[in-house]
Amino acid sequence: MNTRKTPSIIVCFLLLFTFQLTAQSFFDVGRLEWMQLPAKLKESNEEATINQWKAALNLGFKTVGEDRILISWAGEKRDIGFNMESPYQKAIYLNSVNLGYIRNWQENPWKLLILGRGKLGSDYDIWSSDDFSWGFLAAATYTNANNVSFTFGGYYGQELFGSLIFPILGLETALSEKAYLYAFFPSEVRLEYALNPQKLYANLILNWNTNSYGLHNVPQNTYVRMQELLLRASLDFNLDKRWVIFAALGHTLINTYELETDARMVLKEEPYHFDFKNSLILDFGLAFRIRFKN
């Protein structure tokens, strides 16, 4: 009997994705990114390297009035390597598809997003429906006379570890002609400053992310849950009106992987923890970007 889907209602502030609901300063239609996190395990001090490759495609189609249908895809590969006497490396993957609808009321400060998400996280050694998870999001945004936007909503989803429920809060505002604040709790807080408008931008970004991945070719049903909190300072350089290259240097604040099995869940034992020491982050990427502000 597979107990991986045992419900466990968790109210928390761990957003699985950031979706650009409100009128932030830019929108990435496409994005490619590479990130490296050199690290050491806290307990054993064993050296490890985590390499991440990410890609995303976001599309919007206008329907009636200012309403829009949204379709997005995101893919990710994580290579986790331990530099032991016998080096060990494991790759895990994630593919997700979002389908949403934005309702914009003309001459009304409110808009509403309804969005569904399906994803498959696994080592892909074997394709299994047990690795599929899904979720729904509903969020409303109010923009006042000073062009400050507030977002309120909630998320419900089924992960490999059970049910996940949490609220969503957002804030977007221009701090000056060149500075912009975007906060979509709990996923991202970004402070942007235009060093050279339409050409060069500096950002300070705080990201929280969690996902779960099925593992196969092991004696029993197993999955790993990843959680990370990253702080980065980045520079975005516009090659032309749309194409942008970016580079970031930062530090992990949380970087942990929990390995869970059916047997441990039945016995109500704590999962195996792989907690990494906080370490440096290197991040590079390319984006096809539509900029609205600055």
In a domain, 4, yes or no: no
Please, is 128 exposed, middle or buried when counting C-beta atoms within 10 Å of its C-beta (0-12, 13-18, 19+)? middle
Q: Please report the pLDDT score of residue 72 as a whole number.
A: 95
Residue range of the domain that includes 280: 26-289
Query: What are 241's strand-pairing partners?
Result: none
- The better pLDDT of the pair 41, 31 is held by 31
Q: Please report the pLDDT score of residue 33 as a whole number.
A: 97
Q: Please report the pLDDT score of residue 262 as a whole number.
A: 63
Q: Please report the pLDDT score of residue 81 as a whole number.
A: 81
Most confident region among 81-95, 141-155, 202-216, 233-247 by mean pLDDT:
233-247
In a domain, 1, yes or no: no
How far is Cα 191 from Cα 174, in angstroms, rounded to an integer? 10
How far is Cα 167 from Cα 8, in angstroms, rounded to an integer? 16
Are the C-beta atoms of 166 and 159 separated by less than 8 Å? no
How far is Cα 189 from Cα 218, in angstroms, rounded to an integer? 38
In a domain, 180, yes or no: yes
Query: What are 207's strand-pairing partners?
Result: 188, 230
Q: Is the pLDDT of residue 266 over 60?
A: no
How far is Cα 89 from Cα 96, in angstroms, rounded to an integer? 24
Least confident span in 95-104, 163-172, 227-236: 163-172
Region 171-188 average pLDDT: 91
In a domain, 272, yes or no: yes
Are the C-beta atoms of 222 and 161 separated by less than 8 Å? no
Please, is 121 exposed, middle or buried when counting C-beta atoms within 10 Å of its C-beta (0-12, 13-18, 19+)? buried
Query: What are 136's strand-pairing partners?
Result: 116, 156
In a domain, 235, yes or no: yes
At position 244, the amino acid (one-letter code) is V
How far is Cα 292 from Cα 294, in angstroms, rounded to an integer? 7
In a domain, 205, yes or no: yes
Least confident span in 41-55, 137-151, 162-176, 212-226: 212-226
Q: Please report the pLDDT score of residue 7 as a whole number.
A: 37
In a domain, 176, yes or no: yes
Q: Find the helix or strand (DSSP H, E) in which 110 lies.
A: strand 110-122
226: domain CATH number is: 2.40.160.40
Q: Please report the pLDDT score of residue 83 as a whole number.
A: 65
Confidence band, pLDDT 50/70/90 cuts, at residue 252: very high
In a domain, 20, yes or no: no
Residue owning tokens 């959680």: 227
Most confident region among 82-91, 236-245, 267-276 by mean pLDDT:
236-245
Q: Please report the pLDDT score of residue 279 as a whole number.
A: 87
Q: Please report the pLDDT score of residue 273 as a whole number.
A: 64
Domain count, the chain: 1
